Amino acid sequence: MNRRFFLKSGSVALASVGMSLSAPSFLERIVLGNTLTGGKRKTLIAIFQRGAVDGLNVVVPFGESNYYELRPSIAIPKSGNDSAISLDGFFGLHPSMSAFKPLWDSKRLAIIHASGSPDNTRSHFDAQDYMESATPGVKSTSDGWLNRYLSSKKDADESLFRAVSMTKTMPRVLQGRASAVAMSNLSEFAIRAGKSSDNLQGGFEAIYARETKDSLAGMGRETFEAVNYLKKANPGQYQPENGAQYPRTPFGTSLLQIAQLIKAGVGLEVAFTDIGGWDTHVNQGNSRGQLANLLQQFSSGIAALYQDLGQRMDDVVVLTMSEFGRTVRENGNRGTDHGHANAMFVLGNGIRGGKVYGQWPGLKSDQLYEGRDLALTTDFRDVFGEIATRHLGSTDVKSIFPGYSSNASKFKGFLG
Amino acid sequence: MRKLVALILLALLTQPLVFAQKHRSLSEEQRIIHVLNRLGFGARPGDVERVKAMGLENYINQQLNPEKITDTVAENKLRELSVLNMTTAELYEKYPQPGQLLRQLQARGMVPEEMPADAAKNNQNQPPANPLDNEKNRKVIEEYYRENGLQRPQRIIAELQASRILRAVYSERQLQEVMVDFWTNHFNIFANKGADRWLLPAYDRDTIRPNALGKFSTLLQATAQSPAMLFYLDNFQSVSPNANQGRRGGLLQQVRPQQQQRRGINENYARELMELHTLGVDGGYTQKDVQEVARCFTGWTIFQPRGGGAAVNAMMGENGRRNAGTFVFNARVHDDGEKTVLGHKIPSGGGIKDGLMVLDILAHHPSTAKFIATKLVRHFVSDTPPPGLIDRVAATFTKSDGDIRETLKAIFFSKEFNSAEAYRVKIKRPFELVISAIRTLGADTNGGPGTHRWIERMGEPLYGFQTPNGYSDAAESWVNTGGLLERMNFGLALAGNRVQGTTVSLAKTNGEQAKVMDEYLKTLLAGDISAATRDALLKQLEPTDPATKVVGLILGTPEFQRQ
């Protein structure tokens, strides 16, 4: 559904605003919201690479001789067959990520290298926890930073689809006071009872419409407005635009459905999804192999999303993250173990791309963190903070990152 | 008889007259339903009559003494869940992690390390995520599992989840199951953190269950010494930075290479012990107390936390094998200096006694009494716990030396618990919703993943809460659009016999929709439904509709979401 169709169909709902004494319904709110903002809602798509991706083989520091010394069998060559895609003469992209090259060349894609969490944990569990709560070292934080962002910026026109996670359960990063929806597939956001679905949905709608005293009833009515709205958007019939081809994997489908929600104008502000399998302790591969294949899926999925969204990327930022990096030295199984700093990507038409941000700490033995890992020069909260402030328009980063003073002087400047 | 019971109950209430004015009272039938909902997971067909016959007070007292209740049906249902009776060491042996097994086999030269990865085929969109996605590796591993009678580790938690579902549905010891659920959340552990999936069966069996209605201090110590908690909150690797570790100490620790550099104090357990297990976040401790408590618990660790490798087992002999994954105090890494915790001096040289003293101080602290009382009242009475009741319950907790039974009695016989204000106000959590639907319908279940999947979809996978605070006990966490939609879908699936492993047989409607509807409203909700909902339901029914529809709709009403 395009925005014009949406506004047209939404006008019916708008007309009823004056007659209703209750709070504006879901549909009314997003109609109002889109009208007030000209439909230009800023959106963040956050992607978590669970399992700790080997950032040194993603954004390859081929200008470092130590990189080749420490990785005799898994390094990505600087030149020749299957070599890294040169970015700036010092860094190169993994050759399976060629889908990112045009985005880099058109300066829509930026990299923040040697970034991540300052905590030295090498536990996946703890590190993911810290990256999602954005309070490294503090385990008792009960909410995630994206939820704190949502709570900090009350949205009068808040849509039920303001925050959507395309995952089976609500990820830590979106847990908290503000409401968010988690679903593994848009088609699941419905009454699912085969042929009787419509009939039964009608039954529930009637029950929840009649009930007045119970607070659950209001939630029920909102739920069905959202369900019906999504139904009109007809997720099953979606055709990506501009020839975009998403990988036919759960990750590709998640991205496709996020694009679909953005185009349907449902008021999406924060989208989240994740992709696993990065914990390459054994036979990681080099230019080809398991990491290469996963990176191919990862980059082609994101590139398809970019292509599909077209001009809408003016208002969208894609952010990727992973809990920590991997050891600089390859291990005895042609893989890598848990390390420290990593590389993050940011993508969007508003991104000052074509640049690797962050100070490069070097890979000489005395430059390594705890003698083995890439050292950290950019705290991930400064990357999150810049996006929250300059893209999403937050004026309250302090409440998003408790106990941390994130401010403009620490921002890398990829959003100007 | 009925009058007699009512009189006894009335006499038990401390201020019956005030109660009559301030709190609208419940009818006897409502009280029975209330007790069956809150002290258990809902009324099975016949339960109300059974409780009526034996007397409500007798029923409550019986529930408070589960060891005296025979429970053959539930026990028989659990027969096939073999993980429940296995030691942690046996679990490590029978349910090895495939990746670890592959590495071991490779190390022993039983699988060549260099496997041409499927990756090389340039299979674009289906990349192998790990070495086990490699076809040949997978075959070797599968073969090895089969030949040696091994199972995948996921099976452990699946069986443990099934046991929780089966017990909640079938056990006569309903309050015991409610309290197991309560304490499992209070002392939460996440199954997907490292070794915890192997450690959880023992946690449920040896730590939580025997102490669910006993003394709080005993329960607290059991959790403190449980390998599952020691692993989950990292205490197993907390060592004094000054400790002089010989080679033997290193062997005992059995840490993975990537953790070897993280030697030192770990404050995680110390903090959560005070914040979440005992005093509460505003319970009056400082960061200094956290550090001191952490020092007291150095050396509280796990013998072979990950089961240990074959080489270690060979060196340690049979004893080493049997004890893998059990609690051990390692004096060599303990900080033996003097400490001060919440103003109490803990003298130097105490060894394991340091931690025991800390637990004793915490279990008897007034903040703990208040914190536990608040949580229990929130669970059993209302999301907004009445302060007066909290104070009385906390006083009972203190007076009875943390006796959980006595503390619960103070709640169950209080005017607040027995008031109309408390009746059907709590939103069922997904686990409670699923179990109560199965029970009230008299459905049959194997407790398997098909049923658990619905609990997970609604947001409460058992042992699936990542952070130590556990699932929320307040409505706001459970009332959201996605969750509500899944609740309705669950009701429809259950009524339509589409929940795998769970079967329900519904009445024939024979064209008498209204009559059948009212019967089910009585079975499922004891008739507690608003006129508006009943009217809306009635309008939905066509003369040809099967009972599936009416039951599915009732399970999805706002009324059925509450208990």
Contact list, B557 vs chain A (CB under 8 Å): 207
Query: With an 8 Å Cβ cutoff, are B258 and A337 in contact?
Result: yes
Q: For residue B78, give the 3-state DSSP assignment.
A: helix
DSSP labels for B399-445?
HTTSBHHHHHHHHHTSTTTTBGGGTT-SBPPHHHHHHHHHHHTT-EE
How far from the centroid of its chain's Cα atoms is residue A175's Cα? 15
Higher local confidence (pLDDT), B250 or B541: B541
Quick: pLDDT tens for B471-488.
989 887 787 777 899 999
Distance CA B261, CA B463 (A): 29
Is the backbone of residue A159 left (phi > 0), alpha (psi -120 to 50) or beta?
A: beta
Q: What is the DSSP string of A260-316?
A: HHHHTTS---EEEEEE------S---SSSSHHHHHHHHHHHHHHHHHHHHGGGGGGE
Local structure of residue B302 (DSSP, 8 states): E
Whether pLDDT at B371 is above 70: yes
Quick check: pTM over 0.95? no
Q: What are the tokens at A205?
A: 């709608």
At B44-84, the pLDDT tens digits run 999 999 999 999 999 999 999 999 999 999 999 999 999 99
Structural tokens at position A145: 């930073």
Query: Which residues face B533 on adjacent strands?
Result: none
Question: To which residue do tokens 């990349």 refer?
Answer: B127
User: Could A204 and B466 be called an inter-chain contact, meaning their C-beta atoms sit closer than 8 Å?
Assistant: no
Residue B260 has pLDDT above 80, yes or no: no
**Does residue B296 lie within any of the structural domains?**
yes
Closest-CA residue of chain A to B115: A283
* Chain B contact for A285 (CB, 8 A cutoff): yes
DSSP secondary structure of A59-108: EE-TT-HHHHHH-TTTPPPSSSTT--EESSSS-EE-GGGGGGHHHHHTT-
Q: Which two tokens stand for residue B164?
A: 């929780």
Q: Using CA atoms, how far apart are residues B533 and B538, in angstroms rounded to an integer?
A: 8
Q: What is the CA radius of gyration of chain A?
A: 22
Residue B141: strand, helix, or coil = helix
Q: Check: CB of residue B356 under 8 Å from CB of residue B297.
A: no
Are residues B291 and B340 in contact, defined by beta-carbon separation less than 8 angstroms?
Answer: no
Kindly list the residues from chain A whose CB atom is less than 8 angstroms away from the CB atom of residue B128.
290, 293
Sign of CA dihedral A96, A99, A104, A109: negative
Distance CA A175, CA A146 (A): 8
Q: Does A287 touch chain B (CB under 8 A)?
A: no
Q: Is residue B247 part of a domain?
A: yes
Is the model more confident about B263 or about B324? B324
**Would B78 be classed as within a structural domain?**
no
- Nearest-CA distance B108 → chain A (Å): 13
Residues B310-327: tens digit of each pLDDT: 555 556 667 777 889 999
Distances (CA, A) of A368 to A112, A313, A338, A382, B107: 18, 37, 14, 22, 29
Q: Which residues of B touch A300 (CB under 8 A)?
A: 125
The CA–CA distances, whole Å, from A176 to A146, A171, A173, B257 equal 9, 10, 8, 35
> What are the structure tokens assigned to B499, written together?
């929940």
Coil, strand or helix at A336: coil
Q: What are the C-alpha distances in Å from B269 to residues B235, B242, B326, B360?
A: 6, 20, 18, 16
- Domains for chain A: give ranges and CATH numbers: 1-40 (no CATH), 42-185+241-410 (3.40.720)
Structure tokens at A100: 């990112």
Report the pLDDT value the prediction gives residue B22, as an integer from 0 to 100. 55
Q: Is residue B284 part of a domain?
A: yes
Residue B119 in this model has a pLDDT that exceeds 50: no
What confidence tens digit (pLDDT) does each residue in B177-201 have? 999 999 999 999 999 988 999 999 9
Contact criterion met (CB below 8 Å) for A293 and A249: no
Mean pLDDT (chain B, rounded): 88
The Cα A120–Cα A373 span in angstroms is 11
Rg for chain B, CA atoms, rounded: 26
pLDDT of residue A2: 32
Report whether A43 contacts A262 (CB < 8 A): yes
**Three-state secondary structure call for residue B358:** helix
Q: Which of B21, B150, B149 is nearest to B96 (CA)?
A: B150
**Residue B148 is encoded by which pair of tokens?**
């040696």
Give the separation between CA B161 and CA B180, rounded to whole angstroms.
Answer: 13
Task: Tell me how far apart the alpha carbons of residues B520 and B515 are, in angstroms, rounded to a whole number.
Answer: 9
Which residue from A minimizes the CA distance to B261? A370
- Total count of domains within chain B: 1
Q: Which of A130, A139, A261 to mutate to test the interface with B (most CBs of B within 10 A)?
A: A139
Instruction: Report if residue B23 sits inside a domain.
Output: no
| pLDDT > 70? residue B121 | no
The dihedral region occupied by B58, where left means phi > 0, alpha psi between -120 and 50, and beta the remainder, is alpha
Q: Quote the CA–CA distance of A371 and A327 in Å, as a whole number.
A: 10
pLDDT of residue B132: 67
Q: How many whole angstroms separate alpha carbon A108 and alpha carbon A105?
A: 8
CB–CB of B174/B477 below 8 Å? no
Interface of A with B in 378-397 (CB under 8 A): none
Is B146 inside a domain boundary? no
Instruction: Identify from B136, B140, B488 which residue to disrupt to test chain A contact, counting A C-beta atoms within 10 A and taking the largest count.
Output: B488
Task: Give the number of other CB atoms < 10 A from CB of residue A395.
Answer: 9
Question: CB of A187 within 8 Å of any CB in chain B?
Answer: no
Digitized pLDDT (tens) for each residue of chain A, 416 residues in all? 233 223 222 222 222 222 333 444 656 655 555 544 445 689 999 999 999 999 999 999 999 999 999 999 999 999 999 999 999 999 999 999 999 999 999 999 999 999 999 998 888 888 999 999 999 998 778 899 999 999 998 877 678 889 999 988 789 999 888 888 888 889 889 999 999 999 999 999 999 998 777 878 888 988 898 899 888 877 778 899 999 999 999 999 999 999 999 998 889 999 999 999 898 987 899 999 999 999 999 999 999 999 999 999 999 999 999 999 999 999 888 899 999 999 999 999 999 999 999 999 999 999 999 999 999 999 999 999 999 999 999 999 999 999 999 889 999 999 98
Rounded to whole angstroms, how far apart are CA atoms B99 and B105? 10
B211, two tokens: 């102490």
- Residue B63 forms part of a structural domain: no
- B278 has pLDDT over 90: yes
**DSSP letter (8 states) at residue B84:** G
Residue type (1 letter), A326: R
What six digits make up the tokens of B124? 């674009």
Q: Are the beta carbons of A287 and A94 closer than 8 angstroms?
A: yes
| Residue of B535, B24, B436, B23 lying closest to A212 (CA atoms) | B535
Q: Give CA–CA dist B545/B515, Å, rounded.
A: 13
* Burial of A245 per CB tally in 10 Å (0-12, 13-18, 19+): middle
Give me the sign of the Cα torsion angle B400, B401, B406, B412: positive
For residue B198, tell me if it sits in a domain. Answer: no
Under 8 Å between Cβ of B5 and B32? no
Distance of CA B176 to the CA centre of its chain: 12
Structure confidence by residue, pLDDT tens digits, B377-421 = 999 999 999 999 999 999 999 999 999 999 999 999 999 999 999
What tokens does B40 get?
């258990």
**Is B419 strand, coil or helix?**
strand
Domain of B261 in residue numbering reads as: 215-363
